[in-house]
Amino acid sequence: MTEISALKAGLIADIEAADTLDALEGLRVGALGKNGVVTGLLKTLGGMSPEERLEKGPPIQDLRESVTAAIAERKAALEQAALDARLASEKVDMTLPADLGPQGSVHAVSQVMDELAEIFADLGFSVATGPEIEDDWHNFTALNIPETHPARAMHDTFYFPDEEGQKKMLLRTHTSPVQIRTMESFVASGQEPPIRIIAPGRVYRSDSDATHTPMFHQIEGLVIDKGITLGHLKWTLETFLKAFFEREDIVLRLRPSYFPFTEPSVEVDVGYTLTNGQRVIGGDGDAPGGGWLEVLGSGMVNRRVIEACGLDPDEWQGFAFGTGVDRLAMLKYGMNDLRAFFDGDLRWLKHYGFSALDVPTLSGGVGA
């Protein structure tokens, strides 16, 4: 009994003297781990007679409970001290005059949008914009998605309250309405294609988790000309992805899909390889250690969409594509949670932000 009392006093003294969580964990393992000293004493109870167990069991059990309680108390104290130190180091006295220069940086989304604009400008595309508060016709009907079309269930839409005599209004669910408005403007002004535009911007859908937010950024592209084929689409996307990821070994896989505004429609996957447990874009996804990631939706513009905009679908053809800007940023720069893009956490922004001097150029590297 005297030995157990002395062991208890020594262990508790060591626990109270532990100044780091690592040191405390070492003491816990030494006492209560699989081969710990207290665990060893508990194991001896199985070989004792009932009389011995009644005599020696309670002090051993008391030793275990006392050591466990002391460890928990010391751990809580160390964690609180660490939190207090962190809060003290991050505290800002708002009454002091500012003595630092500008602390801002270019957000990853803004940087990637600039990278995309640079790449597509080199391919002859211009940037087109449109309203974020859109009417139902431009957002759905003109894109071959009438009111009864089941594809509307694919979009969790934010609608504005209906007003008598007014068009049904909503927050746009994609930047495709910009394509419609661009074709309409050509017809209204008496111009003829070719049309080559990209339409980056904010879009809205009622969804929220690690890879979805109610507001996110999308970029869509549109080409309208004579004699356009699916081959032109594949070459354009392959050229774009090679420039964006700055790798020549980009391999694309096109899978048949369905979108109301394109026919035929294809999902575009890009190959990746696993390097140190991380996905690295590039290489054949069917090779050992590889795989495929879906990055784009695309297809040939549906005849009905071209016709709805006032163009002759027998004369003009085209292709369209779309992808999430935030998703491209996550893939290229190793981010794993979309919600952090909009948290406004200065630490995240400092880590993933870009200098204003990091202007994307094809000669210097878009991701320089």
CA distances from 197 to 60, 118, 278, 343 (A): 78, 13, 34, 31
Range of weakest confidence among 17-31, 110-124, 126-140, 340-354: 340-354
Residue 209's pLDDT is what?
Answer: 64
Range of weakest confidence among 25-39, 256-270, 354-368: 354-368
Consecutive H or E run containing 170:
strand 169-171
Distance CA 31, CA 39 (A): 7
Residue 132 assigned ligand-binding role? no
| Residue 356 banded pLDDT, cuts 50, 70, 90 | confident
Instruction: Give the pLDDT mean for 187-210.
Output: 87
Residue 273's pLDDT is what?
Answer: 87
The token pair at 210 is 């690690």
Q: Which DSSP string do the residues of 58-101 spell out, in sequence order?
A: HHHHHHHHHHHHHHHHHHHHHHHHHHHHHHHHH---TTSPP-S-
Using one digit for the tens of pLDDT, what is the confidence trace for 100-154?
666 678 888 999 999 999 999 999 999 999 999 999 899 999 999 888 776 666 5
| Residue 1 banded pLDDT, cuts 50, 70, 90 | low
Contact 328, 322 (CB under 8 A): no
Distance CA 16, CA 77 (A): 10
Please tell me whether the overall predicted TM-score, pTM, comes out greater than 0.85 for this model.
no
Query: Which of 104-108, 158-162, 262-266, 364-368 has the highest average model confidence (pLDDT)?
Result: 262-266
For the 108-343 domain, the top CATH level (class) is alpha beta
Residue percentage of the chain with pLDDT more than 90: 46
Counting every residue written for the chain, the total comes to 368
- DSSP lists the bridge partners of residue 212 as 209
Residue percentage of the chain with pLDDT more than 70: 93
Q: Where are the domains of the chain?
A: 2-89, 108-343
Strands 126-127 and 195-204: parallel
Residue 172's pLDDT is what?
Answer: 92
Using one digit for the tens of pLDDT, what is the confidence trace for 254-283?
999 999 999 999 999 999 888 777 788 888
Which residues are within 8 A (CB) of 122 and not within 5 positions of it... i.e. 6 or more apart? Answer: 243, 362
Does 368 score more than 60 pLDDT? no
Question: Average pLDDT over the chain, rounded to whole?
Answer: 87
